[in-house]
Structure 1
Amino acid sequence: MGRVLALPACSDPSPSAPRTLGAGLLLVVLIVAFESMAVGTVLPRVAGDLHGLSLYGWASSAFLLSSLFGAVVSGVVADRRSLATSASVSLLIFAAGLMVAGGATSMLLFVLGRLVQGLGAGGLGALPFAVITARYPEHARARMLAAVSSAWLIPALVGPLIASLIADAWSWRAVFWGLVPVLALASPLCVLPLRSGPREAASGGRGGLELLGPALGLALSAGAVVEGLRRPDLLAALLLALGGGGVALTSRRLFPPGLWRFAPGLPAALALRGLAAFALLGANAFLPLALHDLRGLSLTQAGWLLSVGGATWTLGSWVQAQLERRSGAASRPVRIRVGMAGIVLGLLVTALGTLGHTPLWSVYAGWFVACLSMGVGYNSNSLFALGALAPEEAGRLSGQLANIEVLMVAVAAGVGGALIARVEPLGTAFALAFGVTLLGAVLTALPALRLTPKSG
């Protein structure tokens, strides 16, 4: 996850950060990544045990939207207090969310736990970039960034499978509670070196305070849209109108002009990222439930599918890197368009298999194609976006890339959850949910056509 404000000002970084800091930082990233990758696998069992299918979409949307705001808050705390304080607060909030979610006796309490988790996870997701900038010398930063990226790889590959095995052997509650003692062991390794190391220079300005309002407004507005989609009463129309207006208004402060009309260059690249995330990650939010309810797969079998997705996304990223090395920046728009077309094809095959129109193996084949294409197109699009700005603006761009992804995935999860809650039979609900995500994938063609080598 990225952040939406600049990194805190800092004094000259230490010649060599303590090894315990690197170990603690990577352990924290591993824990957050595992939780993020694992929850989707066990959500069908959570919804069944707590009789909360109507709030299924909120279990993902609440986490995502609160993480957006949590990233901004953690940046403000780091800027005005210290990195150690920011890390400590985020760790405590994340642990509290794990405890609430694991002990939930109703789906509403579970969603509340997910919301609290998101506040902490947003801060922890932004932490590595701030720590690496403030505490590591220039020559060591690339190595640490690579290590952080690798720390996300392992949970993406095995997190869903491990979570399903834990849920089958014990309980889905163990997936949440089991992370708390691990977090308690990792936290001192991360926080203590930050407390004992050189203090960051205090920012003389307002830091990220000016972004707190827009970030909170965006999260609340998107939440109103999600709830409006879910509700069957007259209040739904009011929530949709207020939420949609709020998203449009707050987006002006957090994203470049022309985002929603796919203006050439950076706005089109951000819009494409949002639509691609809406399509693939939105489908990922309800895919395990659909496979469980429609095709009779166990959580472990569904976990295998999500692990396949993590592996093939990584493979696609590697393929993209090789193509970038051989063909250069001029080929990025073509790679992006091919990647988006692959997502459409892969999602269509996945949907047909999940709904029972084609053999079950086609679900795995379709998901392989979709995630491989995502790795190629998504990363090529990120490089295109980076090339559209000056190097000193990369920090702001990372926040914009993260926030458009969070916003669109939260809305997609909300749409899917609303259809599952309101449409019967479930087969029809899942067909409509796939249709919505497929529409998002098809719409990526519009911003993709506004990406040209000249803009990159």
Structure 2
Amino acid sequence: MSLPADHPAPPQTLSVGLLLVVLVVAFEAMAVGTVLPRVAAEFHGLAWYGWASSAFLLASLFGAVASGLLADRRGLALGAGASLSVFAAGLLVAGLAPDMPTFVVGRFVQGLGAGGLGALPFAVITARYPEAARARMLAAVSSAWLVPALTGPLLASLIAETWSWRAVFWGLAPVLALVTPLCVGPLRTVNGPAPAAPEADQASDASGLWPALGLTVSAGAVVEGLRRADVPGLLLVVAGAVGMAFSARPLFPAGMLRLARGLPAALMLRGFAAFAVLGANTLLPLALHDLRGLTLTQAGSLLSVGGATWTLGSWIQAQLDRRGGPAGRPRRIRMGAALLTLGLGVTSAAVLGTLPLAWAYAGWCLTCLCMGVAYNANSLLALGSVPDSGAGRLSGQLANIEVLMVAVAAGVGGALVARLASLEAAFTLAFAVTLLGSLVPWVAATRLRPGA
């Protein structure tokens, strides 16, 4: 897909505003991963640990579809403003929560907004940036995670230890109030109200909200069922799995389960790579804290290492794209998928004590570096497969497959932690599941092709 030659370049303020929003969301993501063990300990809510991540992610799934629909029908400015407002409300609820269930509710509300914000960069880059600038802008979006990755865990742990973990949440709400005009204003200028779609098309688009809601509820049933060791729990898992199968069909292109060539394979690659790496990421701070005795700051430093090397990988991908063009993307994705499994295996072995702890940092560096290269290359292939009018829908698909798979991974890991008496056994099984998931991108990477 390419924009017309006379298409006006997006204003610089749009790029700045978009990057600032990503910066705030990235800081919150890195901070929550660091302080979540403290939250669970204060509320005596280790059994809810998986839900603290899954609720956020499942709500993000629905939020991504809703924001994509809103962007396609009413313009990116309205979608961005709504997502930012809901995200801020979730921060306040989580920060003021009196117990773990209320905290989970706050995470759910926060996720509704974050889903739209996660999809926003893809929609903006696809609809408003020429092909030559997309790789550079995607790398800039990834680099916006660098400062939060390096400072977020440290600042969050210091705030939690000297003041309260609650400030990590509600302290960002005023910042969002300042950042929002910088992002929404330029979008309103550049992207005016979208032309009205025919009534039949509007009805078809709106009907996508119901499958998204069904997928969110069904995946939530699976997560809750895994957490329970009784017959109702088993029934929830079965019903949720069936519901997911039916709800996913209208939301994603046909052929995903058989890894059909092109976009279906690209989406599955993204989903299972996220399942493996980001699923493990939700468990690393707790495993390092409870199994290896690290402080919150020390455990969070591993997340900092991952964020920095992921950013480095994204910039390497952009440079390779600039020098060699899009033709080398499939090859880079295949290599990244293979090395990703190797790095994840080394990290897991070190966290569990089979290897020295220092190997966890080496393995996580390799894992996240490969994710930075392969993830961005895969995203660019997907972005090239849709016309301008479908940018919002594709952004929802990219965000949905990612958050769905990470939510399932976090749910499985949280269920194992809740149900097994031995934390070492729980984390061993959880990391084994993520390693198995990392094998799927190996196959999907052989079935990619440049988008039409």
Would the TM-score normalized by the shorter structure come out above 0.5? yes
Q: Aligned match of 1:350 in 347, 351, 354? A: 347
Match of 2:56 in 1: 63
Provide the residue aligned with 1:402 in structure 2: 399
C-alpha spacing 1:139/1:326, structure 2 compared with 1 (3 Å): closer
Counterpart contact for 1:218–1:250, Cα < 8 Å: yes
Alignment of 1:256-405 (within 5 A): 256-325=253-322, 329-386=326-383, 396-405=393-402
CA distance 1:276–1:391, change in 2 (3 Å)? same
RMSD: 3.2
Among the aligned pairs, what percent are the same residue? 66
1:323-355 deviation line (CA, Å, top 9, x unaligned): 445555554443323212211111111111111
Paired AA for residue 29 in structure 2 = S
**For residue 273 of structure 1, what is the amino acid of its counterpart?**
R
Consecutive unaligned residues in structure 1, runs of 5 or more: 1-11
Decide whether aligned partners of structure 1 residues 131 and 368 sit closer, same or farther in structure 2, where only a CA change above 3 A counts. Answer: closer
Quote the offset at 1:87 in angstroms. Answer: 3.9
Output one character per residue of 1:244-288: Cα deviation in whole Å (capped at 9) or x when no partner: 112211221111111112223332222122111111110000100
Cα distance between partner residues in 2 of 1:345 and 1:137: 35
* Distance across 1 between alignment mates of 2:299 and 2:250: 39
For residues 213-228 of structure 1, the aligned pairs below 5 Å read: 213-228=210-225
Residue 249 of structure 1 pairs with residue 246 of structure 2: yes
**Structure 1 pair 72–149 and aligned structure 2 pair: CA distance change class (3 A):** same
3-state DSSP of counterpart to 1:254 = coil
Q: Given the two structures, how large is their TM-score scaled by the length of structure 1?
A: 0.86
Alignment partner for residue 28 of structure 1, among 13, 21, 29? Answer: 21
Q: Deviations over 1:17-54 (max 9, x none)?
A: 594x6655443332222112221111111111111111
Q: 1:6-45 counterparts in 2 under 5 A?
A: 19=13, 23-45=16-38
Q: Check 1:24–1:371 CA distance in 2 against 1; reply closer, same or farther (3 A cut).
A: closer
The counterpart of 1:74, out of the listed 39, 52, 67, is: 67
Question: What secondary structure sits across from 1:89 in the alignment?
Answer: helix
Distance 1:386 1:353, change over 3 A: same
Deviation at 1:70, TM superposition (A): 1.5
Q: In the alignment, is the contact (CA less than 8 A) between 2:139 and 2:318 conserved in 1?
A: no
Deviation at 1:384, TM superposition (A): 4.0
- 1:13 to 1:85, Cα distance in 2 relative to 1, 3 A: farther
For structure 1, which segment, 354-363 or 22-31, has the greater mean C-alpha deviation from structure 2 after superposition? 22-31
| Kept in 1: contact 2:119–2:395 (CA 8 A) | no
Alpha-carbon separation, structure 1, partners of 2:114 and 2:59: 9
TM-score, normalised via structure 2 length = 0.87
Asked whether the equivalents of residues 133 and 141 of structure 1 are also in contact (C-alpha less than 8 Å), the reply is no
Cα distance change, pair 78–45 in 1 and its aligned pair in 2 (3 A): same
The aligned residue for residue 412 of structure 1 is 409
Alpha-carbon separation, structure 1, partners of 2:9 and 2:328: 39
Aligned to 2:3: none
Give the match for residue 113 of structure 1: 106
Other-structure match for 2:171: 178
**Does structure 2 retain, via aligned residues, the 8 Å contact 1:13–1:137?**
no
Specify the alignment match of 2:87 in structure 1: 94
Equivalent residue pairs, number: 442
- Kindly state the Cα deviation for residue 374 of structure 1 after the two structures are TM-superposed: 1.7
CA shift, 1:55, in A, is 1.0
- The answer for the alignment partner of 2:236 in structure 1 is 239
Gaps of 5+ in 2: 1-5
